[in-house]
Amino acid sequence: MNNIAYLLALHSINGLGPIRLKALLDYFKDPKLAWEASGGELKKAGVPQSVAELLMETRNSLDPQKYLDEIKKSGIKWMSIFDDDYPKLLKEIYDPPVIFYYKGEILKDDENAVGVVGTRKMTGYGRAVTKQLVEELVLAGLTIVSGLARGVDAQAHSTALENNGRTIAILGGGLNKIYPPENGQLAEKIIDGHGAVISEFPPDYPSLPGNFPSRNRIIAGLSKAVLVTEAAEDSGSLITAKLAVEQGREVFAVPGPITSSLSKGPIDLIKLGAKAIFDAQEILDEMGMGKVKSSKLKVKSVEELSKEERLVWECLENDTLHIDEIGRKLNVKAATISALLIKMEIKGIVQNLGNGNYCRK
């Protein structure tokens, strides 16, 4: 689209969401004409008076070309719905962003993506499940889409990076204000050759609670399927899953322990028709993809276990166990079990879930 500076300037106006902005552009045909329109013309275009007044007030203080230059200077790129390389899946949803901002690279291969979402208050079980499933999906060549939030989202992005895969993070605020701030380094790693960090909000826009439902529709919109690994019944990740259903995407959910409140979200989704899954191969089968690739390093490490390590390994076959529980089962002191588990963790075949709890990796 011509006059991109004016399109970006219009997009900075609070109240011009994707549907209203698209209607405005359809009416004026040119963002420069929309930016310079009188109050009467804006009213004819269907713009509410309060938004029209804000637009006219903003253009007295904002120079579109300078605004464009500032965005370029910060290293932020953008893509509009009028561009040929706008993501195909995202364009199919009811209210795709007219324009979004990003850092990193968006590739054609990223169309084969799975959204992975869940609770911010992740348990050891949720961490292990998310890590296992994401690792296998990445090894099968899928891109992981999530929201850079604490908990499951951050684990999904991190696991994709650990396995040299691609991942896309969708923000609930502008790219100049990464939220949560402790995931800033994670965002930089994604940008540095492993995917993209995306936002439909102007670069300096704050991360407000009301932004996240909009963010969630983009996670679903960029994904062929959405996986919920662990979530409470009121979790925002369930919004993502429901949006995915509305967009015609597959939804998968991981059943969890009935003793955990964070199993309630996935169970509710399963009742509503989401597919209960126990391994990544089920997701790949539904998507018509290939087979899960197993890690040869992991198999080799298991073969190299000592007799004592193998006994511990067998204890963890179906359970997440505390060091003390493993010791009771094997009639071995906890200190000895702890030493064995440290060695096995170094070999990459068990995972420390915190507070003395371990599971197979």
- The lowest-confidence range among 20-24, 107-111, 234-238 is 234-238
- Tell whether the model's pLDDT for residue 88 goes beyond 90: yes
**Class of residue 27 by CB neighbours under 10 A (exposed 0-12, middle 13-18, buried 19+):** middle
> Over the stretch 41-82, which tens digit does the pLDDT of each residue have?
999 999 999 999 999 999 999 999 999 999 999 999 999 999
> Over the stretch 124-152, which tens digit does the pLDDT of each residue have?
888 888 998 999 999 999 999 999 999 99
- Tell whether the model's pLDDT for residue 300 goes beyond 90: no
Name the nearest CA neighbour of 354 among 86, 92, 128, 73.
Answer: 128
Give SS3 for 352. Answer: strand
As a whole number of angstroms, the longest Cα–Cα distance in the chain is 83
pLDDT more than 90, % of the chain? 61
Architecture in CATH of 108-287: 3-Layer(aba) Sandwich (3.40)
Summarize the confidence of residues 219-239 as an average pLDDT.
Answer: 90
- Find out whether the peptide bond into 180 is cis, omega within 30 degrees of 0: yes
Read off the pTM. 0.82
Summarize the confidence of residues 27-38 as an average pLDDT.
Answer: 93
Q: What is the pLDDT of residue 112?
A: 93
Instruction: Locate the domains of the chain by residue range.
Output: 1-73, 108-287, 296-360
- Length of the chain equals 361
How far, in Å, CA of 327 to CA of 183, rounded?
37
Q: What is the pLDDT of residue 217?
A: 94
Q: What is the pLDDT of residue 179?
A: 93
Summarize the confidence of residues 159-188 as an average pLDDT.
Answer: 95
Question: In the block, which residue shows the tokens 């679903």?
Answer: 220
Quickly name the fold that domain 1-73 has: DNA polymerase; domain 1 (1.10.150)
- DSSP 8-class letter at 252: E
Q: What is the pLDDT of residue 296?
A: 46
Q: Which residues contact 103 (CB under 8 A, 6 or more apart)?
A: 75, 76, 77, 175, 191, 196, 197
Summarize the confidence of residues 8-27 as an average pLDDT.
Answer: 92
pLDDT-based confidence at 293, cuts 50/70/90?
A: low
* C-alpha torsion sign, points 177, 183, 189, 193: negative
- Tell whether the model's pLDDT for residue 286 goes beyond 60: yes
Summarize the confidence of residues 251-265 as an average pLDDT.
Answer: 87
Q: What is the pLDDT of residue 152?
A: 94
CB atoms within 10 A of CB 271: 9
How far, in Å, CA of 350 to CA of 344, rounded?
6
- DSSP 8-class letter at 6: H
DSSP H/E element including 126:
helix 124-139
Summarize the confidence of residues 244-254 as an average pLDDT.
Answer: 90
Summarize the confidence of residues 169-179 as an average pLDDT.
Answer: 95
Same fold flag, 1-73 and 296-360: no
- The lowest-confidence range among 57-66, 92-101, 303-312 is 303-312
Q: What is the mean pLDDT of the chain?
A: 89
What would the CATH number be for the domain defined by 296-360? Answer: 1.10.10.10
> Over the stretch 319-355, which tens digit does the pLDDT of each residue have?
788 999 999 999 999 889 998 988 888 777 888 877 7
* C-alpha torsion sign, points 8, 14, 18, 20: negative
For the chain, the 3-state helix, strand and coil shares in percent, each to the nearest 5, are: 50, 15, 35
